[in-house]
């Protein structure tokens, strides 16, 4: 490795997402222009054809999610990127991909809502939409980067989880991380892991496209590989065909959820700082965790033993990390850029073992370390 | 190939009989698609058949290809992803009048505009059949539907003109009455490089015919025979003679750059840099 390659390069979170996607092996992107995610589409429009991949700007958000699912079914590693209103529009086809187990990555650079809102301002108000945005019971995996470096690394992770679990994975960025510039190091080959979907090993005539192995994830053939199988958003049995039976629904919905929930150790990522001796915990994610990190350092200077729990995987929610923290500390503070979405999960998992205090801003500004510190002092 | 052999070769026999009502024309369209595929000797392993939601949406489930039954109206958007990701695949979209002209209308005009090499066959029965008889953008003026109990005041689309204007390079209309012509039109559409569009006039005796007093399936087939004017004959007729009729045959053919080839051209030019 040359010296130059080790040097940090300055880029935004959106640009880092592009780099991460390319390292992960993306070869298809479909999108629609929307602030503040557009730089991801622009970057991939430039870069993908240079590596033999395909970029397409579709007629709308719905179509771009559909094209991503179609491309992934034809074997591509496919991604789309959007923001707020666009994320809402994509939900039906995210549900289709979840139900039909099509691996793909959906980046949502969260912006201030509801509706058109403040398009260039940050928010964390899509946390619940990332979990429950599409109708019906379904699995959800969503990751929240807190830095530009992490925007790159979590994009790779998102592709890997999508391939491994055959499900759409949401990279839940936000305007701050998306547009913030930081020096990052682009990892070299061998410094990151790439995972690919499991292919069927049986001949086409024996292939049951939705027969799950012990890990609940069925091997996936590509369209055009001779397997000639059927994919439908209707409840289907292991052959892939609908039979209109409630029992098939029971089996499928439970399996879809279980394939994710039974392997949490492979999905859950949590950063903890100072939790060994913490008497008070701040639970924060994304850019708010940066303020929280500073705030707990300031608190410790004042003699308050504060700690940070940062869910990197926001869905499935890292329940155990909160349960353990709640048993340990006297109070939990949940600062977030919404009126309390992650707080609902924290409150649920604290099980009353520690009181949970909310700290919310919905005025298009980031919560500052001082504000978190003031809350720490107030509840301590 | 005889019908029995065609069935064996191309259909998922264990999925038959199909779910369509007695007298429905959809089976004739699907049979014509199969015969057109057979005529063009498409490699079944390299052929994807994609649909949206509605009665037409169930068609791919009966044929032995890679088949994808997508969300309502989005078949062409999914198909665009499949085709662009793997341009060597033959991609055929089977859709309905509600699926492609209402909820999927945007995808239809943009797929046509891109001239992507996808063959689209519209099962136009003038009604939402799966949901039991609501009016679609192709339901004629003042016809009855469950959601137009006093007559449909909407004006209907001429889909063939729409996609021609949008940039489709092969456009045809057929009926389930004129089956030999229909097979030929679909086969031509499959052979054509670029966006091919075939509107097929079919009948829904259950939810459209009965409500509009059009008789049974045979009466409705006869209606198609009586109201269809072949394109050559239509060219010689004054406009007043075409009123209330529709033109069948190849309506438009042109040459234009095909989308996936254009993209490949970009990839190749960057390689040379």
pLDDT tens for each residue of A227-285: 999 999 999 999 999 999 999 999 999 999 999 999 999 999 999 999 999 999 999 99
* Cβ contact, residue pair A232, B61, below 8 Å: yes
In a domain, A348, yes or no: yes
Residue B1's pLDDT is 83
Quick one: DSSP state of residue A195? -
Tell me if A58 and B77 make a contact (CB, 8 A cut-off): yes
Q: Which residue did the predictor score with more confidence, A1 or A179? A: A179
Question: Does residue A359 lie in a domain region?
Answer: yes
Nearest CA in chain A to B110: A59
Q: Count chain A–chain B contacts defined by CB atoms under 8 A.
A: 135
Residue A43 sits in the same domain as residue A158: yes
Instruction: Show which of A153, A184, A215 is a domain's final residue.
Output: A184
Residues A65-91 as b or e (16 or more Cβ within 10 Å = b): bbbbbbbbbbbbbbbbbbbbbbbbbbb
Does one domain contain both A40 and A163?
yes
Task: Give how far A195 is from chain B: nearest CA, Å.
Answer: 19
Same domain flag for A40 and A154 = yes
* Residue B134 Cα, gap to closest chain A Cα (Å): 22
Q: Would you say residue A254 lies in a domain? A: no
Asked, for residue A171, whether it belongs to a domain, the answer is yes
Kindly report, residue by residue over B48-75, the tens digit of the pLDDT.
999 999 999 999 999 999 999 999 999 9
CATH, residue A76: 3.40.50.970
Residue A259 lies in a domain: no
Give dist(CA A73, CA A224) in Å, integer.
9
- Beta strands (DSSP E) in A168-319 are 168-174, 181-184, 230-232, 270-273, 280-283, 306-311, 313-315
- The pLDDT confidence band at residue A187, using thresholds 50, 70 and 90, is very high
A313 and A176 housed in the same domain? no
In-domain check, residue A256: no
* Closest approach of B230 to chain A, Cα-based (Å): 34
Task: Say what the pLDDT of residue A1 is.
Answer: 44
3-class SS at B103? helix
CATH number for the domain that contains residue A279: 3.40.50.920
Do A8 and A119 fall into the same domain?
Answer: yes
Q: Please state, rounded to an integer, the average pLDDT across all residues of chain B.
A: 97
Same domain, A152 and A301: no
Q: Which of B61, B70, B270 sits opposite A66 (nearest CB)?
A: B70
If asked whether residues A173 and A290 sit together in one domain, one would say no
Q: Distance between CA atoms of A161 and A101, rounded to whole angstroms?
A: 12
Residues A304 and A174 in one domain: no
CA dihedral for A156, A158, A164, A168, sign (positive or negative): negative
Provide the shortest C-alpha distance from residue A23 to chain B (in Å).
19
Q: Which chain B residues are closer than 8 Å to A241 by Cβ?
A: 15, 61
Yes or no, beta carbons of B85 and A50 under 8 Å apart: no
B112 touches A at CB < 8 Å:
no
pLDDT score recorded for residue A5: 54
Among the partner-chain residues A58, A74, A227, the one whose CB lies closest to the CB of B82 is A74
Q: Is the pLDDT of residue A6 over 90?
A: no
Tell which of B16, B75, B77 to mutate to test the A interface (max A CBs under 10 Å).
B77
User: pLDDT band at B104, cuts 50/70/90?
Assistant: very high
Residues 6+ apart with CB under 8 A from A105: A21, A26, A78, A79, A80, A155, A158, A159, A162, A168, A169, A170, A171
> Is 50 exceeded by the pLDDT of residue A361?
yes
A261 falls within a domain? no
For residues B187-202, give the mean pLDDT: 98
User: What pLDDT does B273 receive?
Assistant: 80
How far apart are the CA of B225 and the nearest CA of chain A, in angstroms?
A: 35
Residues of chain A contacting residue B85, judged by C-beta atoms under 8 Å apart: 27-28, 54, 70-72, 74-76, 78
Domains and CATH numbers, chain B: 12-272 (3.40.50.970)
Chain B residue numbers with beta carbons less than 8 Å from the beta carbon of A229 are: 66-67
Do residues A242 and A235 make contact, with C-beta atoms less than 8 angstroms apart?
Answer: yes
Looking at the fold, whether A180 and A309 belong to one and the same domain comes out as: no
Q: Mark yes or no for CB contact B81/A28 under 8 Å.
A: yes
Tens digits of per-residue pLDDT, A66-86? 999 999 999 999 999 999 999
- Structural domain count, chain A: 2
Backbone angles phi, psi at A332, to 5 degrees: -125, 135
B86 and A224 within 8 Å at the Cβ level: the answer is yes
CA distance B232 to B250: 10
Domain boundary residue, one of A141, A159, A184:
A184
One domain, residues A33 and A153:
yes
| pLDDT tens-digit readout, A8-43 | 999 999 999 999 999 999 999 999 999 999 999 999
B71 and chain A in contact, CB less than 8 A = yes
Asked if B60 has any chain A CB less than 8 Å from its own CB, the reply is yes
Among the candidates A136, A165, A184, a domain finishes at A184
- Residues of chain B positioned with their CB less than 8 A from the CB of A72: 81, 85
Q: Name every chain B residue with its beta carbon within 8 A of the beta carbon of A227.
A: 66
Q: Using CA of residue A186, residue A107, residue B105, residue B210, what is the dihedral sign?
A: positive
For A205-218, the pLDDT digits (tens) are 999 999 998 889 99
Same domain, A148 and A295: no
Residue B257 has pLDDT above 60, yes or no: yes
B-interface mutation test, from A74, A91, A226, A227, most B Cβ less than 10 A away: A74
Share of chain A above pLDDT 70, in %: 98
Phi/psi for B264 (5° steps) reads -60, -35
Q: Calculate the average pLDDT of chain A.
A: 97
Nearest Cα of chain B lies from the Cα of A252 at a distance, in angstroms, of 17
Q: How far is B87 from chain A (nearest CA, A)?
A: 10
> H or E element: which one contains A161?
helix A148-165
Residues A175 and A299 in one domain: no
Residue A89: domain span: 3-184
User: Virtual CA dihedral for A39, A45, A49, A52, nearest 10 degrees?
Assistant: 70
pLDDT value at residue A213 = 80
How many helices and strands (H and E) does chain A possess? 13, 15
0.95 surpassed by pTM: yes
- A65 located within any domain: yes
List of chain A residues whose C-beta atoms are within 8 Å of the C-beta of residue B19: none
User: Which class for A159: exposed (0-12), middle (13-18), buried (19 or more C-beta within 10 A)?
Assistant: buried
A78-82 and A104-110 beta bridge pairing: parallel
């Amino acid at each position: 490795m040359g010296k130059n390659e080790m040097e940090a390069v300055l880029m935004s979170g959106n640009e880092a997402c592009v780099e991460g996607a390319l390292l992960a092996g993306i070869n298809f992107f479909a999108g629609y222009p929307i602030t503040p995610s557009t730089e991801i589409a622009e970057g991939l429009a430039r870069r993908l054809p240079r590596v033999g991949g395909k970029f397409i700007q579709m007629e709308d958000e719905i179509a771009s999610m559909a094209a991503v699912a179609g491309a992934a079914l034809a074997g591509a590693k496919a991604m789309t990127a959007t923001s707020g209103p666009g994320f809402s529009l994509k939900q039906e086809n995210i549900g289709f991909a979840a139900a039909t187990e099509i691996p793909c990555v959906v980046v949502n650079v969260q912006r201030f809502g509801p509706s058109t809102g403040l398009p260039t301002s940050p928010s964390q108000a899509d946390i619940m939409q990332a979990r429950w945005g599409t109708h019906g019971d379904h699995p959800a995996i969503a990751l929240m980067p807190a830095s530009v470096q992490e925007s790159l690394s979590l994009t790779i992770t998102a592709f890997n989880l999508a391939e491994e679990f055959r499900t759409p994975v949401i990279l839940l960025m936000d305007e701050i991380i998306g547009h913030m510039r930081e020096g990052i190091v682009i990892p070299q080959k061998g410094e990151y892991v790439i995972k690919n979907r499991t292919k069927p090993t049986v001949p086409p005539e024996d292939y049951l496209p939705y027969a799950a192995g012990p890990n609940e994830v069925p091997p996936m053939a590509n369209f055009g590989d001779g397997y000639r199988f059927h994919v439908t958003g209707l409840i289907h049995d292991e052959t892939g065909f609908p039979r209109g039976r409630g029992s098939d629904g029971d089996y499928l919905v439970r399996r879809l959820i279980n394939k994710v929930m039974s392997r949490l150790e492979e999905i859950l990522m949590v950063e903890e700082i100072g939790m060994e001796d913490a008497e008070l915990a701040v639970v924060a994610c994304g850019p708010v965790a940066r303020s929280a990190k500073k705030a707990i350092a300031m608190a410790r200077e004042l003699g308050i033993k504060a700690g940070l729990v940062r869910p990197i995987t926001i869905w499935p929610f890292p329940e155990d990390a909160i349960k353990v923290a709640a048993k340990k500390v006297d109070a939990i503070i949940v600062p977030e850029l919404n009126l309390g979405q992650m707080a609902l999960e924290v409150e649920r998992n604290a099980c009353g073992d520690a009181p949970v205090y909310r700290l919310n801003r919905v005025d298009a500004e980031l919560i500052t370390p001082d504000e978190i510190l003031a809350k720490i002092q107030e509840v301590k | 190939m005889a019908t029995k052999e065609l069935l064996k070769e191309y259909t998922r026999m264990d999925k038959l009989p199909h779910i369509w009502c007695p007298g429905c024309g959809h089976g004739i369209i699907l049979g014509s698609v199969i015969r057109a595929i057979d005529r063009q000797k498409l490699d079944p392993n390299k052929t994807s058949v994609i649909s949206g939601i509605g009665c037409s949406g169930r068609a791919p489930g009966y044929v032995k290809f890679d088949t994808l039954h997508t969300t309502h109206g989005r078949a062409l958007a999914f198909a665009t992803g499949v085709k662009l990701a793997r341009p060597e695949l033959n991609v055929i979209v089977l859709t309905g009048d509600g699926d492609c002209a209402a909820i999927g209308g945007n995808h239809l005009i943009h797929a046509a505009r891109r001239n992507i090499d996808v063959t689209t066959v519209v099962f136009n029965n003038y009604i939402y059949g799966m949901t039991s008889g609501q009016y679609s953008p192709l339901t004629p003026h003042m016809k009855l539907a469950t959601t137009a109990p006093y007559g449909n005041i909407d004006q209907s689309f001429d889909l063939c003109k729409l996609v021609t204007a949008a940039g489709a390079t092969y456009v045809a209309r057929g009926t389930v009455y004129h089956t030999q012509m229909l097979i030929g039109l679909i086969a031509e559409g499959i052979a054509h490089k670029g966006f091919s569009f075939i509107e097929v006039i079919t009948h829904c005796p259950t939810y459209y015919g009965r409500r509009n007093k059009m008789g049974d399936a045979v009466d409705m087939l006869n209606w198609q025979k009586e109201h269809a004017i072949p394109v050559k004959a239509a060219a010689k007729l004054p406009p007043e003679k075409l009123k209330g009729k529709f033109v069948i045959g190849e309506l438009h053919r042109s040459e234009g750059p095909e989308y996936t080839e254009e993209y490949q051209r970009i990839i190749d030019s960057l390689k040379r840099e």
